[in-house]
C-alpha cells in the first residue's frame, strides 16, 4: 500500500515542525487550510497554537464542520497542546463560548500548569515506548478527567503536577499536552503514523 497522506491543520500553530517530522517518517504530509485538502487526508494532526484562534479560523474558512464530521466518523487524529484542547469534548478554564471539534471523551484544563510557569520540560514514561520521552510543555493543558475506554499514555512523573495526565488515546484519537514535534525524537509521531496505516488497512 502507498504511504498514507497525513494532513496538518495549518490555519494557525506550529505547522512546519509537524510537517517535517511526518515527511521524515516517509508520509505524504499536507498542510490543510481548505475542505478539499482535508478530504485528501487519511489522518490529521491538530498542532499547538492558540485553541480559540484555531477554532475561530476553522469557522471562517469553512473547515469547522468538515473537521468535526471527519473526526466523528473515524479519521485518525492527533492533537498536541492546543490540538488536544480542540479534540476534547469538554474544557475547563476555556474562553467564554470556546468551541472544540470534540470527539475525545476527556475534560481538559486549559493553561493548567499555571501562569508563572509558562513552559517547562522533563522526561516522562510513555506507554509503548521503551525509553522516556523528553517532553516540552508550553502554556499546556492537562487532562482533568477521562471517560471510560480512554487509555492514559503518560503522566507527569514528579513535582507539583505529579500524576497529571498529559497523553491519552481512545480508538482513532490521540492527544498530548506537550510538543513531540519539537526536537528530533519521532517516536510518538511513529505511533500515530502506525495508527493511520492500521486504520486504512481495515
Positions marked catalytic = 81, 179, 181
**DSSP state for residue 101 in the 8-state scheme:** -
Task: Return the residues of window 132-161 that contact ligand GLN according to CB under 6 A.
Answer: 138-139
Query: What's the start-to-end Cα distance of the chain, in Å?
Result: 12
Chain-centre distance for alpha carbon 163: 20
Burial of 81 (0-12, 13-18, 19+ CB in 10 A): buried
Question: Does 79 interact with ligand GLN (rule: CB under 6 A)?
Answer: no
Choosing from 37, 50, 92, 121, the residue that interacts with ligand GLN (CB under 6 A) is 50
Asked whether position 20 contacts ligand GLN by CB under 6 A, the answer is: no
Interface pattern 103-122 for ligand GLN (x via CB under 6 A)? -------xx-----------
Smaller CB separation from ligand GLN, 82 or 196: 82
Among 82, 124, 156, 193, binds ligand GLN (CB under 6 A): 82
The reply to whether 81 sits near ligand GLN by the rule CB under 6 A is: yes
Cell, residue 192: 500515530
By C-alpha distance, which of 5, 52, 55 is closest to 31? Answer: 5
Q: Are strands 28-32 and 133-138 parallel, antiparallel or unpaired?
A: unpaired
Please report, as ranges, the residues that interact with ligand GLN according to CB under 6 A: 48-51, 81-82, 85, 110-111, 138-139
Amino acid at each position: 500500500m502507498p504511504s498514507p497522506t497525513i494532513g496538518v491543520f495549518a490555519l494557525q500553530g506550529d505547522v512546519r515542525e509537524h510537517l517535517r517530522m511526518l515527511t521524515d517518517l516517509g508520509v505524504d504530509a499536507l498542510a490543510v487550510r481548505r475542505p478539499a485538502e482535508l478530504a485528501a487526508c487519511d489522518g490529521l494532526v491538530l498542532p499547538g497554537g492558540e485553541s480559540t484562534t484555531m477554532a475561530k479560523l476553522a469557522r471562517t474558512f469553512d473547515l469547522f464542520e468538515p473537521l468535526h464530521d471527519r473526526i466523528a466518523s473515524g479519521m485518525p487524529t492527533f492533537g498536541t497542546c492546543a490540538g488536544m484542547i480542540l479534540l476534547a469534548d469538554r474544557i475547563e478554564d476555556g474562553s467564554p463560548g470556546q468551541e472544540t471539534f470534540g470527539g475525545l471523551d476527556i475534560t481538559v484544563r486549559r493553561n493548567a500548569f499555571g501562569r508563572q510557569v509558562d513552559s517547562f520540560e522533563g522526561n516522562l514514561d510513555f506507554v509503548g515506548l521503551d525509553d522516556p520521552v523528553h517532553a516540552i510543555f508550553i502554556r499546556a493543558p492537562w487532562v482533568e478527567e477521562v471517560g471510560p475506554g480512554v487509555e492514559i499514555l503518560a503522566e507527569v512523573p514528579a513535582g507539583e503536577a505529579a500524576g497529571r495526565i498529559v497523553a491519552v488515546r481512545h480508538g482513532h484519537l490521540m492527544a498530548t499536552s506537550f510538543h513531540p514535534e519539537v526536537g528530533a525524537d519521532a517516536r510518538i509521531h511513529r505511533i500515530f503514523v502506525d495508527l493511520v496505516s492500521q486504520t486504512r488497512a481495515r
